[in-house]
Structure 1
Amino acid sequence: MARRPDLVGLTVLAMLSVRAGHPYELHRFIVDTHKDYVTGLPRSLYHAIERLAGEELIVPVETSRQGRRPERTVYEITDEGRRELATRLRMLLENPGSERRTFTAAVSLIGVLPVPEALQALLARAAAIEGNLTGLNGHLKALKDGGLPDVLMIELDYERALSESELAWVKQLIARLESGELDWSGTVNRDLLERVLDES
């Protein structure tokens, strides 16, 4: 069985690639920006931070305490963490999987990649979806030619409709990136992260 992607860890790496932060800030940012694919908060967040620190993808840089509040450890991403973030994110963007939540997560974090890398990953995804659709259409035709009633192929028809819709959306996103219509400066950056945290 394939290992499920660590979406919480990916999100932590993406946020720490913008600026160092402590778990409470990261938790607030996830909630305030509706990263709803991150489940099991706050426990999943603390487990992800522990795991990433153990893999030396993030490191603690400061511990502080204000008044009676518990100590807060600030983490920052390492160079290896940046490389791992880019690799994981490109992989999730490039490969259409069975779980759409994973692609939602990848798209929500796409702004941490340079435009050329994001574009290349999306082009690879579009090509993979087109290949899958060709195979699925061939399979549906063979079943139909074999006399299988339409009602027994309805789930395959549904899967085809979802894939066609995703392909159209990905191609539209590619066009927006290629034309420069999509403003990359509005993605997660230090100013945006600090503004969201200040408003909470």
Structure 2
Amino acid sequence: MARWDLVGTTVMALLTQKPRHPYELHRFILDTRKDYVSGLPRSLYHAVDRLARDGLIEVAEVEREGRGPERTVYRITREGREELAHRLRHMLERPDPDTTVIHAALSLSGVLPSTEIARCLRVRAAALEGLVTTADATLQGLDLPRMLLLEVEYSREVNAAELSWIHRLLTELASGELAWAGLLEKEE
């Protein structure tokens, strides 16, 4: 699997909603502006082949509309659901310098139960707190001109802002202000 396999993860998440054929997946990704998915349509077809080979998705049916070409419709397997949950948990829990990862994870997080989302966000918050604390120590501990520490200051502020947002999100989840019904929760 590629480092995060955002295309494969997206395919599995979309198949939790309903079985689909690759062209329908492609259209949905474009229509919902999941811009973190790159290399379409080729990357999508490669991901579908790889996921099917690995038993994470399977053929549900082959359909044909009129004189059009046959279309293979796929559905996610039980193993695929487990792998999807595993991937999303890791993507949500671990801050990554590549912000595409958190964008993708948040975009697809609706498949997880609210309790799992809250747990993952608490883990992420703890990691972010560590990053902010480390940056604070660096900024206080180094006797350098500020201009030589701007990247540390910038990272600290970005991490602190994300941490603040996550705390608000956790509060909204706990209070019910943010309604949540994960798709994987419904299926199991």
Would you call these one fold, judging by a TM-score over 0.5? Answer: yes
Separation in 1, partners of 2:53, 2:139: 47
Match of 2:176 among 177, 180, 188: 180
Identity %: 53
Separation in 2, partners of 1:97, 1:36: 18
Deviation at 1:46, TM superposition (A): 0.6
Aligned to 1:71: 70
Aligned to 2:153: 157
Cα distance per residue 1:62-117 (max 9 Å; x no partner): 11222332221000111000000000000100111111110010011111001101
Separation in 2, partners of 1:60, 1:135: 49
Aligned to 1:129: 128
Query: Structure 2: which amino acid aligns with 1:184?
Result: W
Deviation at 1:16, TM superposition (A): 0.7
Residue pairs, 1:36-115, within 5 angstroms: 36-115=35-114
Separation in 2, partners of 1:23, 1:107: 22
Normalised to the residue count of structure 2, the TM-score between the two structures is 0.93
Query: Structure 1: which amino acid aligns with 2:167?
Result: K
Query: Structure 1: which amino acid aligns with 2:118?
Result: L
Task: Report the number of matched residues.
Answer: 183
Aligned to 1:7: 6
Query: Structure 1: which amino acid aligns with 2:48?
Result: I
Separation in 2, partners of 1:174, 1:30: 28
Cα distance per residue 1:119-166 (max 9 Å; x no partner): 1000110011001111111112111xx2x1111111111111111111
Normalised to the residue count of structure 1, the TM-score between the two structures is 0.87
SS in 2 for 1:169: helix
Aligned to 1:116: 115
Aligned to 2:32: 33
Separation in 1, partners of 2:130, 2:154: 17
Q: Aligned Cα RMSD in Å?
A: 1.5
Cα distance per residue 1:152-197 (max 9 Å; x no partner): 1111111111111111111111111111011225x779xxxxxxxx
Query: Structure 2: which amino acid aligns with 1:63?
Result: V
> Retained in 1: the 8 A contact 2:113–2:183?
no
Separation in 2, partners of 1:69, 1:44: 23
SS in 1 for 2:73: strand
Aligned to 1:24: 23
The question of 1:139 aligning with 2:138 is answered: yes
Query: Structure 1: which amino acid aligns with 2:116?
Result: E
SS in 2 for 1:159: helix
Separation in 2, partners of 1:96, 1:21: 31
Separation in 1, partners of 2:178, 2:28: 23
